[in-house]
A and B are shown apart, each in its own frame.
Chain A
Amino acid sequence: MDDLRRRALIKGAAIGTLAFIVDGARIMLTPQEARAQGVPLRTLTAEQAATLDAVGETLVPGAKEAGITNFVDQQISIAAEQSLLQARILNVRPPFAKFYRAAIRAIDQASEKAKSHRFAELTPDEQHEFINLMRQNKLDGWQGPPGPFVYTVLRSDAVDVVYATMDGYAALGVPYMHHIAPTKRW
C-alpha cells in the first residue's frame, strides 16, 4: 500500500478542535475561530486577557489573532489531564490557572513599576524591551514565578498557536504529513 493511500485510510479517526462554551452550548472551534466569534472567556478576566494578548503578540507575531488568549483560557478551564498546554510538560503543578494568573499579575506589576502602565498599554518597543529583560530575569521588583520561566511558558503557547498548527506549517512551507490529523487545521 502506498503512503498516500495509507494516510487516507487512517485519517478517519481524526479529532482535534477544542470545546468552547457559547450561550450555554458546547461547540467545537479552533482558538482563532473562538477569538473571531468573541467567545466569552471562562477563567481569565478582560484585563488578564489584554495582557496575555499583548505578551503573546510580542513573543510571536500573529499570536493574538491566532487566539492565544482563547487557547490558554479554554485550556486552564479544563482538567489538567486533558490539557494540551506546554505547561503540562514543563512541570507546572496543576491547577494551571494558578500559574497563569500569577504570571500575568507579575508582568503587570513589574510593568507598572517600571513604566507606570500595564503591559498592554506600553508601546511595542517598550513591550519588546520589557520581554527581553523578563527573559533574562533582569526586571527589578519582579514578584511571581521566575521571569525566564514565564517567558518560556508563554512563548511556548504563542509558538503553539502560530506555528504548531497545520496552518502554521503551511505558512512556513513545511509539509505537515500527518498520520491522523486534527479535524481542523490546527
Chain B
Amino acid sequence: MAYEKIDAVIVGAGASGSVFASVLTRAGKKVVLLDNGPDWQLTDLISSDIWGRRVKPAGAPVLLEGNHPFAAYTNQAGWGVGGAALHYFANFPRYLPNDFKINSEHNRAHDWPISYEDIAPFYDRVAVDVGVSGDAQAEEKWRPAGASYPMPPMKTFPNGEVWLKAAETNGIRFVPGAVGMSSTAYRGRPACMYDGWCHVGCPIGALANPVVTYLSEARKAGAEVRALCTATRVLSNQEGTRATGVEYYDANRQRQVQEASVVILAAWSAQNPRLLLNSVTDKHPKGLANSSELVGKFMMVHHIAGTWALFDEDITPHMGTVGAQFMSYDRYIKTSYPGAFGSSFIVTGAAMKTNDYAAARADLFGPELAAFMKRAARGITRITFFGEELPRLENRVELASDKDEFGMPLARLIHGFDDDALALWNANFEQGMKVANATTATTVWPGKPPFVPAAHLHGGAIMGTGPENSVTNSYGQTHEIANLWMAGPCIFPTEGASNPTYTIFAVSLRGAEYLAQNWGTVAG
C-alpha cells in the first residue's frame, strides 16, 4: 500500500512529538505520527508494578556501555503512544536562567543559543495547556516572575512533611512541587486521588500524559497515529538537500514509506541519532545532518543521590503521587559545593510502593528483607538530589554491528561520568545525610549502590548557533536540511539538574509554532 504524501511525518508519539502534532494539525497540516509500540488507551493502565512494565520497551534495543552505563535506559524509555511521558513522574520544575549560559558565566560546556526569557512564555503556556499544580510565587525566590499555575499545590502527606524542618536547618528551603497533575478538576479531567500509581500510567487522566493533553488535541484536529510502526531511515532527495519522508516497518512487518514535506524526529535522545546515523546516502556518508560529526554526541544524564530515612511512626509511605511533594533549587548554583561543579535539584515526598521498599535495601534478602519490608511499609521515605553532568564528546551514541529484526543497526549508548560529576554526586550524598540525620528518623542511609544511578537522557543532536558547534538551531531545525527537524531533549546543549519534561514541552511548543509560522519557507 502506498501512502500519499502528507505535510509532516513525526517519528515518536511521546511528549515532544505530540506537541508538534498538536500545533501543526491545528494549523491545518496533515500529520502522521509513527510509534514503534502499541496505541495505549487509559484503560490499559493497570495499577500494578508488575503489569506496569508493559508500557516500557522489552529488552535492550540500545546497548548500554561505558564506565557508567545508563542502566535506567529501558526503565525510563517509552514504548507506544504517549512515550516515556505515559509513565513519567510528572515533576514540572523548570530550568533556571543560569542553565542557559554556563559557558558565559563559567567558561565551561555550552551556552544555549537562547535564554531563559525566550522559553519563559512557553513554560507559562504549557502550564495552562497540560495543567500544572504548584505555587509559582514560592518558586520565584529562585527565578524571574511569571504566571501563576492554573491549579493550587497538591496535598501533602507525612512522608514528605517529615523532611521540611531538617532541610531548612541545613539551608534547604522546600516549596510545593510543581507537577503536571490535577490538584483540582481541570479541563474535563478529574482531580488526583493520591494513590501513588502514576508511574505505571494514570488511567483517570489526572496526570498530564500526552494521551490526555497534546496528543488528544492533535487527534481531534485530524492527526493520524500509526502504532507498532518502527522507523528505520529518514529518506532524502538525490541532491541530499531535502528530507523526503520516512521508511518504516508496520505492524505486519511490511516495509512502508511515508513521504512528507517535513520530517520531525521525536523518538528520544538515543533513537533520534540512531535514525540519523542509519540514514546515510552518498551525499551524507556520515548520516543525515551530520557533517559536523556531532550527531550522537554530548549525551547527558542526571546522576541521582537518594538518601533514605526510616521512621518508627506511620508516615504513610504509599500515599501521594510519585511526583515531588516538595522541591528546592537551593543547591542549583553551579558552584554550590567546593570541589564540585554543576546544579543540583532536590525533591522529596514521592509515594512508594512495595517494590520501592525492597529496592531501598537491595543488599537484604531472606528473613532480614522480610523484617525490613514490615518496617518500611510504615516508615520509609527518601530525599533525592538530581545532579548535572556537563556535555562531553565521548558520551555518545553510535551504531553497533548487531542489528534488529528489520536489519537496522542497534545503538550503542556509551556513557561515563567525569570527576566533576562524581564529586557533585558525592557532595549531594553528604548533604542528603546531613539533612536525614537532622530528622527524627531512627535509621538513615545513603542509597549508594556500586554503580551511579542516573535518569533523564539528553543530547545527541544539540542546538547551537551554527553547524560548526551543533546539529540544530534553537527551534530544532537541522542546520543542514531545512525540512528535517529534531524534537525532545536530544537538542538540549546542557541539561541543568531539574526534571526535563516541562522544558521538553516548552522548547517543543516554541519550535512547533515557529515551524507552523514559517511553513512556506521550511516545507518548500
Contacting residues of chain B (341-392) with chain A, CB-CB under 8 angstroms? 353-355, 357-358, 362-363, 365-367, 369-370, 373-374, 377-378
CA distance A132 to B64 in the complex (A): 27
Contact B73 A60 (CB under 8 A): no
Q: Is the CB of B363 within 8 A of A91?
A: no
Task: Knowing A160-B50, A180-B47 are in contact, say whether A89-B190 is a contact too (CB < 8 A).
Answer: no
Please give, as numbers and ranges, the residues of chain A lying within 8 Å of B59 by CB-CB distance: 80, 88, 91-94, 96
Cα-based distance from A163 to B53 in the complex (angstroms)? 16
CB distance from B252 to the nearest CB of A (A): 15
Q: Kindly state whether residue A135 has any CB partner on chain B within 8 Å.
A: yes
B53 touches A89 (CB 8 A): yes
Tell which of A20-28, A37-45, A107-115, A166-174 binds the partner.
A166-174
User: B195: which of A92, A160, A178 is its contact (CB, 8 Å)?
Assistant: A178
Size category, B interface:
35 or more
Number of residue pairs spanning A and B whose beta carbons lie under 8 angstroms apart:
145
B354 touches A159 (CB 8 A): yes
Kindly list 9 other residue pairs between chains A and B, CB separation below 8 angstroms, not including A89-B56, A177-B196: A6-B204, A14-B46, A16-B48, A83-B58, A84-B53, A91-B64, A163-B355, A165-B50, A172-B374
Contact A180:B43 (CB < 8 A) given known A164-B50, A168-B354:
yes
* Contact residues of B: prevailing secondary structure: loop
A118 at the interface (CB under 8 A from B): no
CB pair A88–B58 under 8 Å, yes or no, is yes
A-side contacts of B216, CB under 8 Å: none
Contact indicator A135/B58 (Cβ below 8 Å):
no
List the 4 shortest-distance A-B pairs measured between CB atoms, nearest first. A178-B47, A80-B58, A13-B43, A177-B195
Q: CB of B27 within 8 A of chain A?
A: no
Contacts of A93 in B (CB 8 A): 59-60
Confirm or deny: A59 has a beta carbon within 8 angstroms of a beta carbon on chain B: yes
B318: nearest chain-A partner, CB-CB: A174
CB of B168 within 8 A of chain A?
no
A96 vs chain B, min Cβ distance (A): 8
- A159 x B358 contact (CB < 8 A): yes
A36 at interface, CB cutoff 8 A:
no
Q: List 23 A-B contacts (CB under 8 A).
A: A10-B203, A59-B369, A60-B365, A61-B366, A83-B58, A84-B54, A88-B74, A89-B56, A89-B74, A89-B75, A131-B365, A131-B366, A160-B49, A168-B354, A172-B377, A173-B377, A174-B377, A177-B47, A177-B196, A178-B48, A178-B197, A179-B202, A182-B50
B190: contacting residue among A6, A83, A160, A182, CB under 8 A: A6
Residues of A in contact with B, size category: 35 or more
Q: Looking at the assembled complex, report how far the CB atom of A95 sits from the nearest CB atom of chain B, in whole angstroms.
A: 9
Set of chain A residues within 8 Å of B318, measured between Cβ atoms: 174-175, 177
Select from chain A the residue with minimum beta-carbon distance to B56.
Answer: A89
A110 to chain B, nearest CB (A): 17
For A83, the chain B residues whose CB sits under 8 A away are 53, 58
**Within 8 Å of chain B (Cβ to Cβ): is A102?**
no
> Which residue of the partner chain A has the closest CB to B64?
A91
Query: CB-CB < 8 A to A181: which residues of B?
Result: 46-48
A29 to chain B, nearest CB (A): 15
What is the bound-complex CA distance between A186 and B46, given in angstroms?
Answer: 11
Cα A59 to Cα B48 with chains together (Å): 22
How far, in Å, is A14 (CB) from chain B's closest CB? 7
Closest residue to A136 on the B side, CB-wise? B363
Asked if B333 is an interface residue, CB under 8 A from chain A, the answer is no
CA gap between A186 and B48 in the complex, in Å: 8
B80 CB, min distance to chain A CBs, angstroms: 10
Q: Does A8 contact B (CB under 8 A)?
A: no
**Shortest Cβ distance from residue B205 to the other chain A in the assembled complex, whole angstroms:** 10
**A82 on interface, CB distance cutoff 8 Å:** yes
Are A164 and B197 touching (Cβ within 8 A)? Answer: no
Q: Are B47 and A148 in contact (CB under 8 A)?
A: no
